[in-house]
Amino acid sequence: MPTLSLCICTMNRPEELTTALQSILDGSSIPEQIIVSDDGDGSAREVAQSFAGVTYLPGPRRGLGANRNNCIAAATGDLIAFIDDDVTVDSEFVAVAKQSSVAEIITTGWELNHSHDPARKVSAHNASFLGFQRVAPGNHLEAICINATVFPRGLFENALFDEQIRYGYEEIDIARHAVSLGWSIVYNDDLHVKHFPAASNRDGYAGVLNVSRLYITHKAYRHYERNRAKAAAFNVVAAVHHLAYAVKGGHRFGEAVMTIRAARKKQRAHR
């Protein structure tokens, strides 16, 4: 059976991190390696070191993409999985994860998201033309539920998380990159976690979500699909859509313009 490295990306949420780690150790099977990558103020160090066998890493503090790559660099397992610090894993999560293939197949499951009452089941959906993850995937997945996904480590020899993405959409970007390289994504309903989205850090994240969406969607068309015309059309349509939405919703027009400019800057940097 393959070995598993389970990585937790954390940022200034020691109580949530404690709960996440305990859920892993309470499972029917334990991963061969547990890594905590701390993108915060260092408060996670004491928590991580209070659990025997947990590897603590200071994070790069450049956002989720870089923090996930920080885990990958230290991972030794045949399989690699990621959860955020406000997630708890099912008691059979590790056992199910370790049954995943080490061939060119990524396995994804679902999360029970407790940001709603009642909690709702959230699974991966493919992206629409504008990049919103709303399209039922059918038999062709090009997206993942990052907190319930198992990657063969071989993927990361050719693809890593985009470090220009501070927050949001990094999971669909790595999924699209993998598919463009010939990897398949399969759904396993037995692979699931519980997600309790923490209130802390959300204000800072809200402002960068649209920047991430505009950037990674253009990137998918321009670089993964190698379709320059589609990428150019997206930039025009997405900009008009974003500005119109801002006006209709009573948001600041200037902020919407700045979002578009920030996304274009990331596009240029990637090229």
> What's the CATH code of the domain at 49?
3.90.550.10
Same domain, 20 and 139: yes
Q: What is the DSSP string of 167-229?
A: SSSHHHHHHHHHHHTT-EEEEEEEEEEEE---STTHHHHHTTHHHHHHHHHHHIIIIIS--HH
Q: What is the pLDDT of residue 207?
A: 65
Q: What is the pLDDT of residue 247?
A: 80
Same domain, 61 and 195: yes
Q: What is the mean pLDDT of each run of 10 residues along the chain (271 residues)?
A: 96 94 96 96 93 94 93 97 96 96 95 91 96 90 97 96 90 97 97 86 67 96 97 96 82 84 88 71
Domain-terminating residue out of 201, 221, 239: 201
Domain-terminating residue out of 180, 201, 222: 201
Its domain, for residue 133, covers 4-201
Same domain, 194 and 218: no
Do 81 and 3 contact (CB within 8 A), yes or no?
no
DSSP 80: E
Same domain, 213 and 191: no
First to last CA, the chain: 40
Same domain, 80 and 94: yes
Q: Could you give the number of structural domains in the chain?
A: 2
Q: Is 226 exposed, middle or buried (0-12, 13-18, 19+ CB in 10 A)?
A: exposed
Same domain, 182 and 224: no
Domain-terminating residue out of 201, 230, 251: 201
Same domain, 220 and 166: no
Distance of CA 117 to the CA centre of its chain: 23
Do 120 and 43 contact (CB within 8 A), yes or no?
no
Same domain, 164 and 214: no
Same domain, 93 and 169: yes
